[in-house]
Amino acid sequence: MPNDVPAPDDRLPPAAELGPRVRSFLDVARIATIATAGPDGEPHQAATWYRLEGEGRILVNSRWPRRWPTELKRDGRCSLAIVDGADGFRWVGLNAVVESRIDDVEAARDHICELAVRYDDAAPWTLAMFRSQPRVSFILRVTRVHDHLGDE
């Protein structure tokens, strides 16, 4: 089965329900902080772009090889924090597992270019740079949602 087609896996936890206000918050192009763990358990964080991929799934993309995607490939677990730029105490935390990894470089390059458009950073030279890089994408299955958006 190709890496770009999610395979059903009963060993993965079920996808969490995002809920309308969390989904609405995540629909806005915000920077996510992704946290992974090294082989010795040492935590690592990095800023990344993301987009929702259906219910309970998030797409992230990185240049390959870098530390966080290497750790994500090895361990398969991560967490993300997405903060409201206007109010740092409004944020959503997500625990997630890798549902699929897209190793197809052209598909991953398409993903980063689509993310560049989402994040309003699609200048021709930026897209050309992304198209020249080795890239990898991950579809993350959200397993837990931490809603810190306040009482509404």
- What is the number of other CB atoms lying within 10 angstroms of the CB of residue 67? 13
Question: For 38-74, what is each residue's pLDDT tens digit?
Answer: 999 999 999 999 999 988 999 999 999 999 999 999 9
Token code pair at residue 101? 């990894």
Domain ranges of the chain: 20-102+138-145
Which residues are bridge partners to 41 per DSSP? none
125 within 8 A of 131, measured Cβ to Cβ: no
pLDDT of residue 151: 72
CATH 2.60.40.2300: does it fit domain 20-102+138-145?
Answer: no
Which DSSP letter does residue 120 get?
T
Total count of residues recorded for the chain:
152
Question: For 100-113, what is each residue's pLDDT tens digit?
Answer: 999 999 999 999 99
Which long-range contacts link 118-125 to residues 24+ away (Cβ below 8 Å)?
118/29, 118/49, 118/51, 119/29, 119/49, 120/29
The pLDDT > 70 percentage for the chain reads 93
Q: 1 falls in which pLDDT band (50, 70, 90)?
A: very low
Please state the separation of Cα 61 from the chain's center in Å: 7
